[in-house]
């Protein structure tokens, strides 16, 4: 089944494919990916299965979206047969129940997917593990009421150590690795004890970083303006190809930053309109409010909420006026959270994807937004991008993991 027996990876809870894309660029060979949501899987399938042929998909697993528990129940023997063939299992369960930016719900059913992840590892026995989640994953629920409350991160560490893995947890800020976004995440690296140690993973990341970024002409810190200043609405508009009644921006002709050159690649030579660069339709009153904020609000990069927002005519729960000279705040799946730094509008999906370090050729599929009861079912484009691991960081991690496997 596997053409290249070196550096094989399975991506769990793969989402739109940010982690898989980074590992692909680092030379890893995908076996398959598991993602429950149809929208996110459509994006993954279009870019990495059909376009880049990243996965050497097994015949026994249908090439579609899957619930991990159904895979565990239906294909347990096939998963056991993969033992000795899988170098890395990567990915992390959904983070919404743990996120400090959300409601942080102890009984969120998605929290239990952590144990499905452990069960998958127990069946497959990969040589190495790369586990990612939000920083809130390291905080216990009910800590104020129970001193012995245990965070999920400790449960994962104990379970993996019980399966024979040496593990090392980290809190890593992706903005320190060329990603134009302040995004701190819990990263856990595990490796079979008889193979080696993950102890120096983060130091190796830092040691490799300067050369990696220098080869791409990037600084360690990339500002918001460095990332998206060629995507202004003032460049001109065209009808959005896949969103009836909306307009998209076209590429600007200004001198590009090195980050913009990297993200564009050759895509802008054959495409006048970036994929998913469709502008929201704002009411006249909202546009006027945005213009006033851009002209008069003194604080950039700080959330405007509470009673203060009322004096500015803001009806939503809060908003951040973005600072072009700094890295972006953490990109989420809520497009109304951020006001563009120079134009009276929210960010487009493509601008969010740029900030997440998705190259422009990576097309985001399905609906742009959703609402109401469908929020529990659908993962539209903004959410697919907001939920992803930045590919630029995943690529750097991929090179380091290969080094560890090679040298122990």
Q: Is residue 341 part of a domain?
A: yes
In three-state secondary structure terms, 9 is strand
Q: How far is CA 48 from CA 16, 24, 365, in A?
A: 10, 9, 13
**Residue 365 belongs to a domain:** yes
Q: For residue 141, is pLDDT > 80?
A: no
**Model's pTM, two decimal places?**
0.93
214 domain-assigned: yes
**Does 168 lie in the same domain as 91?**
yes
Give, as one character, the DSSP assignment of residue 252: -
Is 17 domain-assigned?
yes
- List Cβ neighbours of 311 (8 Å cut-off, separation of 6 or more): none
Average the pLDDT over 364-390 and give the result: 94
Of 48-52, 113-117, 269-273, 310-314, the poorest mean pLDDT is in 310-314
The answer to whether residues 370 and 270 belong to one domain is: yes
Pairing mode of beta strands 318-321, 303-305 = antiparallel
| Rounded Cα–Cα distance for residues 263 and 123 (Å) | 38
**Cα–Cα distance, 102 to 104 (Å, whole number):** 6
**CATH value at residue 350:** 3.90.120
Distance from C-alpha of 61 to C-alpha of 152, rounded to nearest angstrom: 30
pLDDT of 402 higher than 80: yes
Structure token digits, residue 303: 């959330």
In 54-142, the DSSP E strands lie at: 88-90, 128-134
- For 164-221, the pLDDT digits (tens) are 999 999 999 999 999 999 999 999 999 999 999 999 999 999 999 999 999 999 999 9
* Residues whose CB falls within 8 Å of the CB of residue 46, separated by 6 or more in sequence, listed in order: 363, 365
For residue 2, pLDDT over 50 is answered with no
Identify any residues that bridge with 185 across adjacent strands, giving them in sequence order. 134, 172
Residues 376 and 356 in one domain: yes
Give, rounded to a whole angstrom, the gap between the first and last alpha carbons of the chain: 26
Domain identity same for 310 and 356: yes
Together in a domain, 84 and 229: no
Q: What is the model's pLDDT at position 3? A: 44
Q: Are the C-beta atoms of 25 and 391 separated by less than 8 Å?
A: yes
Identify whether residues 164 and 269 lie together within a single domain: no
Integer angstrom CA distances of residue 134 from 27, 94, 336, 339, 349: 26, 9, 21, 24, 21
Q: Mean pLDDT over residues 238-243, rounded? A: 96
Domain assignment present for 232:
yes
Task: Please report, for residues 16, 91, 329, 330, 331, the alpha-carbon distance to residue 321 in angstroms, rounded to integers and kept in the order given.
Answer: 27, 32, 10, 13, 13
Give the chain's mean pLDDT.
91
The answer to whether residue 1 is domain-embedded is: no
The reported pLDDT for the residue numbered 1 is 40
Domain count across the chain: 2
Q: Are residues 193 and 267 in the same domain?
A: no
CA dist 79 and 13 (Å) reads 16
Q: By residue range, what is the domain housing residue 247?
A: 224-386
Q: In terms of domains, do 51 and 189 share one?
A: yes
pLDDT per residue as tens digits for the range 279-316: 999 999 999 999 999 999 999 999 998 888 888 888 88
Token pair of 214, please?
């220098």
Burial zone of 285 (CB within 10 Å; 0-12 exposed, 13-18 middle, 19+ buried): exposed
Cα separation, 389 vs 394, whole angstroms: 7
Q: What is the DSSP string of 171-234?
A: EEEGGGGT-SB--EEEEEEEEETTT---TTHHHHHHHHHHHHHHHTT--SS--HHHHHTT--GG
Q: Quick one: 105 and 253 in the same domain?
A: no
d(CA 76, CA 93): 19
For residues 178 and 84, state if they share a domain: yes
Q: What is the pLDDT of residues 80-136, one digit of tens each?
A: 999 999 999 999 888 544 444 444 355 555 568 999 999 999 999 999 999 999 888
In a domain, 2, yes or no: no
Q: Are residues 106 and 213 in the same domain?
A: yes
3-state helix, strand, coil in the chain (%, to 5): 40, 15, 45
Q: Are residues 139 and 245 in the same domain?
A: no
Domain CATH for 34: 3.40.50.150
Q: Residue 3 falls within a domain, yes or no?
A: no
């Amino acid at each position: 089944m596997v053409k290249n027996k070196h550096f094989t990876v399975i991506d769990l809870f793969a989402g739109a494919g940010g982690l898989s894309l980074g590992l692909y660029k680092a030379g890893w060979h995908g076996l398959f990916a598991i993602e429950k949501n149809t929208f996110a899987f459509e994006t993954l399938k279009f870019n990495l299965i059909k376009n880049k042929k990243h996965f050497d998909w097994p015949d026994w697993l249908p090439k579609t979206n899957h619930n991990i528990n159904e895979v565990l129940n239906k294909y347990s023997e096939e998963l056991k047969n993969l033992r000795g063939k899988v170098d890395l299992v990567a990915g992390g369960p959904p983070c919404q129940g743990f996120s400090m930016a959300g409601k942080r719900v102890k009984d969120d059913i998605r929290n239990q997917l952590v144990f499905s992840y452990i069960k998958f590892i127990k069946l497959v026995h990969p040589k190495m593990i790369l586990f990612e989640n939000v920083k809130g994953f390291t905080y216990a629920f009910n800590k104020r009421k129970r001193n012995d409350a245990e965070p999920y991160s400790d449960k994962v560490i104990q379970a993996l150590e019980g399966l024979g893995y040496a593990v090392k947890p980290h809190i890593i800020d992706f903005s320190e690795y060329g990603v134009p976004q302040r995004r701190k995440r819990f990263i856990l690296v595990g490796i079979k004890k008889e193979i080696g140690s993950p102890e120096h993973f983060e130091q190796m990341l830092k040691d490799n970083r300067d050369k990696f970024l220098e080869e791409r002409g990037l600084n360690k810190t990339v500002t918001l303006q460095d990332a998206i200043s060629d995507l202004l609405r003032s460049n001109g508009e065209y009808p959005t190809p896949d969103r009836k009644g909306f307009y998209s921006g076209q590429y600007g002709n200004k001198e590009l930053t090195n980050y913009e050159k990297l993200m564009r690649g050759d895509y802008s030579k054959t495409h006048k309109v970036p994929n998913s660069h469709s502008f929201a339709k704002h009411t006249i009153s909202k546009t006027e409010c945005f213009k006033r904020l851009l002209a008069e609000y003194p604080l950039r990069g700080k959330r405007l909420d509470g009673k203060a927002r009322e004096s500015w005519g803001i009806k939503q729960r809060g908003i951040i006026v973005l600072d072009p000279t700094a890295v972006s705040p953490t990109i989420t799946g809520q497009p109304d959270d951020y006001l563009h730094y120079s134009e009276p509008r929210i960010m487009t999906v493509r601008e969010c994807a740029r900030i997440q370090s998705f190259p422009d050729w990576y097309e985001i599929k399905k609906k742009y937004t959703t609402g109401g009861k469908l929020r529990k079912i659908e993962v539209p484009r903004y959410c697919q991008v907001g939920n992803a691991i930045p590919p630029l960081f995943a690529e750097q991690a991929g090179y380091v993991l290969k080094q560890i496997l090679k040298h122990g």
